[in-house]
Each structure stands twice: as structure tokens, then as C-alpha cells.
A and B are shown apart, each in its own frame.
Chain A
Amino acid sequence: SYVLTQPPSVSVAPGKTATITCGGDNIGTKSVHWYQQKPGQAPVMVIYYDNDRPSGIPERFSGSHSGNTATLTISRVDAGDEADYYCQVWHTGSDLGVFGGGTKLTVL
């Protein structure tokens, strides 16, 4: 099975840039999606197909991927960005979806 590895936690000061990674074998060849989940709420898609943002998601959110790592970057972080973030890919070999373990973003 395909495994996606995320750091359990990332901390950042307000106004700074948060970087959340998602590691997977040749993830650079796959389409990566990212979700934000705040406590008690359903997940929200923030990035799809590597670096596309749905309407309503600020331009501060961006994605990239290369080699074995995908990255979600949140610039000018504010308290409202504090949440869990999950990466997700479609593994064509098994024809199934896979989530990363999630990263808790703390705004100091």
C-alpha cells in the first residue's frame, strides 16, 4: 500500500510562513490534494491538483511537489489558520485514495 508521511506538528508565529510536508514514494508524479480540518468540523479542501485553490481559499495557501515530497505553504499565517492539515493522493497502482497522517498547525 502507498504511505504518505506528514510531521505530527508544525508551529509558526503569526505573520510568518508555515510549511507542511507530505512524503511519499515519487509523490512528484502524483496529483496531491490538501485539506484543512478545524476542531469539531468536517475537512475543507484548500488545495487540489497540487496547487489549485478552490474559490474562497486565500491566495496565502499554495502547494508544490517534487521528487518524494509535497509541500503546503501558508504565508502570513494568522490564528484562524490553526488546524489539522492532511495531504491526499490517488494511488493509481491500487486505484484507491490515501490520506497522510495529518499535521497539527499551531500558531504561536
Chain B
Amino acid sequence: EAQLVQSGAEVKKPGESLRISCEGSGYSFTNFWIGWVRQRPGKGLEWMGLIHPGDSDTKYSPSFQGQVIISADKSIRTAYLQWNNLKASDTAMYYCARPYFVARHDAFNIWGQGTMVTVSS
């Protein structure tokens, strides 16, 4: 069974760095894109970007370009979302998700459990 397992909740201070992870299992990790989705408290889903672990091709939504870094290590079947200068406005639940099929435009049918990131002084 394909699944994505994310790292645990984080509490950070403004200006700090952070990297959260998303480990894939039960499928060919290098064949499927992995996307990241933000959900601020009480708000809707926001499409951040995605990465193809096979060749590290990465696409960012303009709202997140330059604000986060998406990466992957195919040797350990893990995708990452990284910040180098956290802000209070980054406080949110972050989901990784895998498309149903191999194309990046496919619907996300496999979702991680989410990682809550809290940024507060």
C-alpha cells in the first residue's frame, strides 16, 4: 500500500531555519511527483509546489518561490520542505501528497498526515 509519512510537529522562533520531511513507501518513489500543500489555521488549501524525485525537477507556485525550498533524496525515499528564515505567517499545517498517476497534473490521491509548524517568539 502506497503511503507518505511526514515528520512531527515543530515549534520554532522567527528567523530560524527548518526542514520537514515526507517519506514515501509502497510504490516506486522515483516515478511519482510529490507535492506540498499549505493550510493555515482555519483556512483553505494552498498549492505550494512539487518535485520529481527521479530527476529533482521542481516547480513552485509564485507565492512560494523564493520563500521555501523543495528537495528530495531518492536514496532514502524522502522529500523535504525547507525554510531558511521562518516568519510567524509560516504557521500552518503542511501536507505532502502524491498524484494518482505519474503526471504532475494528476490529482493528489495519497496524502501524508500533515506536519504542523508553529512559528512564535
* Contact mask for chain A residues 78-100; partner B; CB cutoff 8 A; 1 contact, 0 none: 00000010101010101111111
Q: Is A28 an interface residue (CB 8 A)?
A: no
Q: Taking the nearest CB of chain A, how far is it from the CB of B89, in angstroms?
A: 18
Query: Within 8 Å CB of B107, what residues of A?
Result: 33, 35, 45, 48-49, 88
A-B contact count (CB 8 A): 63
With contact pairs A1-B62, A45-B100 given, residues A86 and B109 touching in the complex (Cβ less than 8 Å):
no
- From DSSP, what is the main secondary structure of chain B's interface residues? strand
Query: Within 8 Å CB of A102, what residues of B?
Result: 44-45
Q: Is B114 an interface residue (CB 8 A)?
A: yes
Which of B's residues lie within 8 Å of A, judged by CB? 35, 37, 44-47, 49-50, 59, 61-62, 95, 97, 100, 104-109, 111-114
Which of A's residues lie within 8 Å of B, judged by CB? 1, 31, 33, 35, 37, 42-45, 48-49, 54, 84, 86, 88, 90, 92, 94-102
